[in-house]
Amino acid sequence: MSGARRPLVAGNWKMHKTAAEAVAWCEEIEGILGVPRAEVAVCPPFTAIEAVARALADAPVWVAAQNVNEHEAGAHTGEVSAAMIAAAGARGAVVGHSERRALGETDAVIAARVRRLLDHGLTPILCVGESLAQREAGETEEWLARQVRACLAHVHVEESARVAIAYEPIWAIGTGRTATPETAQAAIAHIRGVVGERLAAGAMRILYGGSVTPENAGELMAQPDVDGALVGGASLDARSFAAIVHAA
């Protein structure tokens, strides 16, 4: 990882943990995390954002939502706005996760969400990644380039450092299959090259996500272009997550 970019390790809990369970996790992580060299974020469900933000108020961990709507307000039943997550204590949000894209979220919608977050002073963690079929067909680079260009379309060059990208090969999410460090490095270096077509690639952090564990985190994050990790299942256990943070 470049010394110019502070690594970011973010834990995405997905649909796990009630507010009470989340607070218990926060109490445990505070006791074992210490003062990490990496920047640390956790992404609880909407219902636990406020409780987690309060519980981590004195900890070196910030809170992000798992998604956000692209509209400022309006008749969007079941949706949550950037202003709402900010008021609850979030400082950013994941957007474009493959599990959300599978439900029909498009690059255009995701680009609008990135812009909305930036307008509210929040950090977007933009997910991109290819399927196994696309990788085997040799389409990885073209697919990643298309996603990155489209989803960052409304970002200005001076905002480059305010955006993080998470490269999550779909075939490695929750499957136990992890990209080799060399595969992750190649994909992320390609993403950085695409970012550099219009934005400040050296300022933007690009993370790896996809079955990250304490056992493989160190080798993955030692790659020159890998600036941290977006951690799924391993983030549900405080000790496991802390070990990944320390590996960064």
3-state SS string for 106-137: CHHHHHHHHHHHHHCCCEEEEEECCCHHHHHC
Among the options 39, 70, 97, 130, which is catalytic?
97
Higher-confidence residue: 196 or 4? 196
**Distance in angstroms (rounded) separating the CA atoms of residues 144 and 194:** 9
Mean pLDDT of 8-31: 98
User: Catalytic site residue 168?
Assistant: yes
pLDDT for position 1: 58
- pLDDT greater than 90 at residue 102: yes
pTM of the model: 0.96
Contact 88, 64 (CB under 8 A): no
pLDDT for position 2: 59
- pLDDT greater than 80 at residue 178: no
- pLDDT greater than 80 at residue 164: yes
CA 175, 234, 25 angle in degrees (round to 5)? Answer: 145
Backbone φ/ψ region at 138: left (φ over 0), alpha (ψ -120 to 50), beta: left
Among the options 70, 130, 159, 168, which is catalytic?
168
What domains, with CATH codes, occur in the chain? Answer: 8-38+47-247 (3.20.20.70)
For residue 39, report the phi and psi dihedrals to the nearest 5 degrees: -80, 140
Mean pLDDT of 115-123: 98
- Name the residue type at position 49: I
Mean pLDDT of 172-200: 93
Q: Is the dihedral of CA 67, 224, 162, 111 positive or negative?
A: negative
